[in-house]
Amino acid sequence: MSSARNTPEFWHFGRPAVNDIETTAAEVEALGFDGMVLTDSQNLSPDTYIALTLAARATKQLLLGPGVTNPLTRHPAVTAGAIASLQSVSDGRAVLGIGRGDSSLFNIGARPVGVAAFEQYVSTIQQYLRGESVQYADYASPLRWLDSAASKVPLDVAGTGPNVLTLAARFAERVSFSVGADVERLSWACAHVRDAAKAAGTPCPSMGAYVNICVHQEPSRAVELVRAGVGIFAHFTGMKGAPRNRVDDNDQAVFDRLGNYDRARHGRADAGHAQAMPAEFIKRFAIVGDVEHCIVRLRELFAVGLDRVVLIGPRADQFGAEAADAMQTLASEVLPRVRAY
């Protein structure tokens, strides 16, 4: 059974770039983060695998991967080949984060991939990464160049609802929850994955969570600094038909409003869906406040059984020095004390 580690992992969430990603990755490593994920959304950012390769060359220990890729824009052999190449370039530091798809898909007129198709894709990816052949009609299709002595790239499934979390428990080495920072929802998600792994007779995957965070002396300002990011992650629960396991009654109406997602203003605080979130909702969904508050909240998350958190801070391209200061304070004053707890 997965349980909180003595030394929890902290990952940095970022966007791909081709001009300064080496500097960013080196800074993230110097700040003491264990890993860094980069989004994979071809219409909004440069290619994530090129950026991750540049980041690998600029770092020595930082774990790296897409956060997250999807099953539609790349054939499973192409995704497996890309992440296995990163594994080679980084000397074994790659992790393949994957979900059903969001901005990468709606920007090409597509919807998130259905659970059954997602399961097939994940299963096929795992075959490739284990060095096995995938059968297409009468043709065997392995990654013929893959080094059999190389360590396998772990698969990290991002999920919100029970069906995807069950799939993760059956097929993946890792699972990362996209349900916010609410302790009750995360406790439910952890318990669901443990039960699903037990029922399937598989090892329980390592468990993590995507968490919006801002360390700031003024909680009201912290709310505004993460409003854009919370809009992205909260809308996974607000999507039409999305499961709302353990959602507080007070938040149901907020998630309903997030169903009217302004795709043209994805990732912007001035979007209608982002402005529809009250400050109190953001304080529950994210971690916002001073140093002591953020330490307490992060400790609560690890106490429910998480092994790591992927931390989404204020965007540097929108908030400049404020974003940099919040990240510096997080890394220097919050994370060491959570690790030492």
To which residue do tokens 């300002």 refer? 221
Secondary element (H or E) of residue 211 = strand 206-215
**Other CB atoms within 10 Å distance of the CB of residue 327:** 22
For the ranges 78-82, 106-110, 205-209, the lowest mean pLDDT is seen at 106-110
Whole-number mean pLDDT of the chain? Answer: 92
**Bridge-based pairing state of the strands 308-312 and 287-289:** unpaired
* Whether the Cβ atoms of residue 255 and residue 239 lie closer than 8 Å to each other: no
**Of 18, 63, 69, which Cα lies nearest the Cα of 45?**
18
Residue 238 confidence (pLDDT): 56
pLDDT (0 to 100) of residue 237: 66
- The domains located in the chain, with CATH, are 9-340 (3.20.20.30)
The pTM assigned to this predicted structure is 0.92
DSSP codes, 21-73: HHHHHHHHHHTT-SEEEE---TTTSS-HHHHHHHHHHT-SS-EEEES-B-SSS
Per-residue model confidence (pLDDT) at position 103 = 87
Q: Mean per-residue pLDDT for 7-33?
A: 96
pLDDT digits over 137-189, tens only? 899 999 999 999 999 999 999 999 999 999 999 999 999 999 999 999 999 99
